[in-house]
Structure 1
Amino acid sequence: MKPLIVLFIAFGISIVVTAITDMYNIRLSAQIAMAVMMVFTSIGHFIYTRGMAMMLPSFIPFKKEIIYITGVLEIASAAGLLIPATRTITAWLLIIFFKVLTPANINAAIKHLNMEKGTYDGSGPRYLWFRMPLQVLFIVWVYVSCLMY
């Protein structure tokens, strides 16, 4: 829920700023909003490392390291969305990234994982009713704002 709120607030602020500066650009505003959201979500990788590592299936080694690396990659993706020369490749990689997250989200829901606490008292499969459409929204957002011309 928090990433969605950050995405919409950043989008609203960006639209207002581009309108005030006579550079009104909804696509740029959407790209900026996704970049802000990616920085926001990357912070979770360093604050909630334990809980995020618990999302990964048991057969995956080096869980904490993967969480740190993906946090850094999310920061890099934020920069990549804002650089015209790297925007297209970054957008495609983000779409793949969002799809790759699906098994971890399913695993977290099955285990009733509370990512922020690092415990197993989360909302469980109900979580997927919000998370899966959210993943689709992020994919569509990136595609429309960065890849559709």
Structure 2
Amino acid sequence: MSTLPESRPRKVARGLLAAAFAIAGVAHLTRPGGFVAITPHWVPAPETVVALTGGAELAGAAGLLIPRLRTAAGIGLALYALCVWPANINHALADIPLGGTHLSWWYHGPRLALQPVIIWWALWASGATNWPMTRKR
């Protein structure tokens, strides 16, 4: 599906991203408590949503590794990262402790600021975009 060039950096970025989402997916399914805790109050059935997000992360990670599904998986993971951003914002603003530990803004600030990078990373590593690497002619 993707016609963008395959470079070694893109392949490495894709492998790292697939591994990160696979690890996060397993964590969502095996240790959902922290994820449920940071879910905003307006999200219905947070336990179910956390389980579904874990499945989505695993499916997206697998999809990144299958050439025919790669671009769709990257777009899906980018949308996923956008959709879970409210949970990260809620975690930061409500100062929700995880395992009894309150995380400081030294954690939350970079985490929130890097969410657009994760979105771009999913799109670029999957070949959905080449921005900003395109050369002007």
- The TM-score with structure 1 as length reference comes to 0.73
Q: What residue identity is the alignment partner of 1:143? A: L
**Corresponding residue of 2:9:** 26
**Corresponding residue of 2:103:** 123
**Corresponding residue of 1:89:** 72
Shift of 1:108: 0.8
Structure 1: tracts of 5 or more residues without a match: 1-23
Q: Provide closer, same or farther for how the CA distance between residues 48 and 122 of structure 1 changes in structure 2, counting only shifts above 3 A.
A: farther
Contact 2:71–2:123 under 8 Å retained in 1: no
How many angstroms apart in 2 are the aligned matches of 1:101 and 1:141? 16
How many angstroms apart in 2 are the aligned matches of 1:124 and 1:47? 25
Q: What residue identity is the alignment partner of 2:90? A: N
**Corresponding residue of 1:51:** 34
Contact 1:77–1:90 under 8 Å retained in 2: yes
Q: What residue identity is the alignment partner of 2:61? A: A
Bigger relative contact order, structure 1 or 2 (CA pairs below 8 A, ≥6 apart): 2
Structure 2: tracts of 5 or more residues without a match: 1-6, 131-137
How many angstroms apart in 2 are the aligned matches of 1:30 and 1:127? 23
Q: 2:53 aligns with which of 47, 70, 78?
A: 70
Q: What residue identity is the alignment partner of 1:60? A: V
Alpha carbon RMSD of aligned pairs, Å? Answer: 1.9
How many angstroms apart in 1 are the aligned matches of 2:61 and 2:29? 16
**Corresponding residue of 2:3:** none
Contact 1:111–1:124 under 8 Å retained in 2: no
**Corresponding residue of 1:133:** 113
**Corresponding residue of 2:24:** 41
Shift of 1:114: 2.8
How many angstroms apart in 2 are the aligned matches of 1:127 and 1:26? 27
Q: What residue identity is the alignment partner of 1:39? A: A
Which 4+ residue blocks in structure 1 deviate beyond 6 angstroms? none
Shift of 1:125: 4.8
Contact 2:74–2:125 under 8 Å retained in 1: no
Matched, 1:148 2:129: yes
- Identity across matched positions, percent: 27
Q: What residue identity is the alignment partner of 1:73? A: A
Normalized per residue, the structure richer in helix is 1
